[in-house]
Amino acid sequence: MNADILRKRLDEGEKLLWYGVPLTGGGRENKAPEPAVKSIYGAILKAIIIPVILSTVGLAVLLGVKAIIVIPSCVTTAILLMLYLRPEEWVYGITDKRIMLGTEKSGIESYSLDSISDIKLNIGKDGIGSVIFTADGAEHGLYGLKNAQQVKELLVSDKME
């Protein structure tokens, strides 16, 4: 399924050379960052959860049966909680032209192989690592990789050609 997400975004004639998803483990420096959409859901959830709980309890005590108006607030909170807790998987891909990374909901970003530089490898004690690179003036990475060394070699060989 993850490869399908990337294949939909390929240009005509572009070939997907490698794709993967982050694994858990590898320490803090090898952990994939939280997806942007999940961060937004989390911020909204944190902002409304206490007022919703307080209004639910307060209205239930004050209004009794009329507290049914509170149900939409509880449903909204439950939906946000489910969206926040539902895993959103990162997907990584390397083509013959670019690196693609991101999530389906938050969006897939791509960086041409010509724009990347300063490729670094970081491998944790458990063998899970990350490949960090600079593109467009910012640092990006492919985190939580079991085969980080091979991914770095693929990037370096593609840049050399």
Give 79-112 pLDDT, tens digit per residue: 777 766 666 678 899 999 999 998 877 788 899 9
Q: Does this model's pTM top 0.95? A: no
Instruction: Please report, rounded to a whole number, the percentage of residues in the chain having pLDDT higher than 70.
Output: 66
**Predicted local distance difference test score (pLDDT) of residue 99:** 93
Q: Give domain 2-33+89-160's CATH number out of 3.40.630.30, 2.170.120.30, 2.40.110.10, 2.30.29.30.
A: 2.30.29.30
Residue 31 phi, psi (nearest 5): -90, 135
Distance between CA atoms of residues 149 and 66, nearest Å: 62
**Sequence ranges of the domains in the chain:** 2-33+89-160, 37-85
Quickly count: other Cβ atoms within 10 Å of residue 50's Cβ: 9
Average pLDDT over residues 14-29: 76
How much is the pLDDT for 124?
Answer: 82
Phi–psi pair at 33, nearest 5 degrees: -65, 160
When computed from its CA atoms, the radius of gyration of the chain, rounded to whole angstroms, is: 21
Q: Provide the pLDDT for residue 93.
A: 92
Dist CA 140 CA 112 (whole Å): 13
- Name beta bridge partners: 103: 107
Please state, in angstroms and rounded to a whole number, the distance separating the CA atoms of residues 132 and 143: 8
pLDDT on residue 160: 44
CA dist., res. 32 & res. 128, Å (int): 12
Look at residue 7 in the predicted model and tell me its pLDDT.
Answer: 87
> Measured between alpha carbons, how far is 61 from 57 in angstroms, rounded to an integer?
6
Helices (H), 8-140: 36-63, 71-85
With a CB cutoff of 8 Å and minimum separation 6, the contacts of 80 are 41, 44, 45, 48
What share of the chain in percent tops pLDDT 90? 19
Residue 143 exposed, middle or buried by CB count within 10 Å (0-12, 13-18, 19+): buried
Mean pLDDT confidence for 18-33: 68
pLDDT, averaged across the chain: 77
